């Protein structure tokens, strides 16, 4: 097995990891909370689109009717 190390992978390895909160300077707490929930690595713990639309940060800006919609498939 041959491993090829590129410039990009070396830079990625050498760069120190920073917590997301350090990168989100002057971001409201509820916006940072939404980003954490959307970027969760485990998809089972990640917010769904419907949950994201119900998040307090989004609800402040958007009014959406989340009724269930019947979808018909035409073949």
**Nearest 5°: CA angle at 38, between 37 and 41?**
85
Answer whether residue 65 shows pLDDT above 80. Answer: no
| 4-59 pLDDT tens trace | 655 555 555 566 778 888 888 899 999 999 999 999 999 999 999 989 988 999 88
* CA–CA dist 55, 32 (Å, integer): 11
Q: Does this model's pTM top 0.85?
A: no
Beta-carbon count within 10 A of 58 CB: 15
Please say if the pLDDT value at position 71 is more than 60. no
**Are 23 and 17 contacting, i.e. CB atoms less than 8 angstroms apart?**
no
Domains of the chain, residue spans: 20-75
Please say if the pLDDT value at position 69 is more than 90: no
pLDDT of residue 67: 66
């Amino acid at each position: 097995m041959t491993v090829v190390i590129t410039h990009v992978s070396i830079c990625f390895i050498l760069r120190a990891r920073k917590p997301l909160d350090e990168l989100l300077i002057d971001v409201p707490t509820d916006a940072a909370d939404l980003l954490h929930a959307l970027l969760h690595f485990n998809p089972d713990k990640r917010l769904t689109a419907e949950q994201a639309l119900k998040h307090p940060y989004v609800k402040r800006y958007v009014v959406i009717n989340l009724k269930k919609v019947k979808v018909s498939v035409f073949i």
